[in-house]
């Protein structure tokens, strides 16, 4: 969609697979404490998904990979706060097309509540009738 002022600005909203009907801005799900790499919406959601999996399972680390990034997300095993935003803390060591980078971030309590609520609403798989 273009206007006289140029192309429309990209939105910072991404769709979580099983939340196709509801787009959630990534900044509701994670809060970045530090990043030495440019954090795109796709990268933010990749980090969120890995961190959320670690949070749910209690695991210590998980590999991440995509078209333009690879690396490892680590569960720091503690909470962090950024002003009024608090949640479990994570760190990612990444290799991107622009070199190595590090991201420290937390999962927001609001995002965790949203993911938990959506998980309870998640439709069950198709039942096979035999």
CA distance 105 to 61: 14
Pairing label, strands 30-35, 99-107:
antiparallel
Summarize pLDDT for 65-98 with one digit per residue, the tens.
988 899 999 999 999 998 999 999 999 999 998 8
CA distance 96 to 104: 16
For the chain, count helices (H), then strands (E). 3, 9
CB 70 within 8 A of CB 99: no
This prediction has a pTM of 0.74
CB neighbours of residue 34 within 10 Å: 9
What's the half-sphere exposure (Cβ side, CA atoms, 13 Å) at 51?
Answer: 31
CB 62 within 8 A of CB 72: yes
DSSP run (H or E) holding 64: strand 61-65
In a 10 Å sphere around its CB, with 0-12 CB exposed, 13-18 middle and 19+ buried, how is residue 26 labelled? Answer: buried
Summarize pLDDT for 4-63 with one digit per residue, the tens.
444 444 444 433 444 444 577 888 899 999 999 998 888 999 999 999 999 999 999 999
Domain parsing of the chain, residue ranges:
14-118
Q: Which residues pair with 79 in a beta bridge?
A: 88
């Amino acid at each position: 969609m273009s206007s006289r002022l140029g192309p429309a600005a990209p939105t910072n909203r991404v769709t979580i697979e099983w939340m196709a009907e509801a787009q959630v801005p990534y900044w509701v799900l994670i809060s970045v404490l530090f990043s030495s790499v440019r954090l795109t919406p796709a990268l933010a959601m990749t980090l969120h998904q890995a961190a959320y999996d670690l949070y749910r399972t209690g695991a210590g680390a998980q590999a991440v990979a995509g078209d333009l990034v690879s690396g490892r997300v680590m569960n720091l095993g503690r909470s962090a706060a950024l002003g009024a935003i608090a949640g479990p803390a994570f760190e990612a060591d990444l290799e991107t097309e622009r070199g190595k980078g590090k991201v420290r971030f937390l999962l927001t309590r609001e995002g965790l509540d949203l993911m938990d609520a959506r998980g309870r609403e998640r439709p069950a798989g198709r039942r096979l009738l035999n």
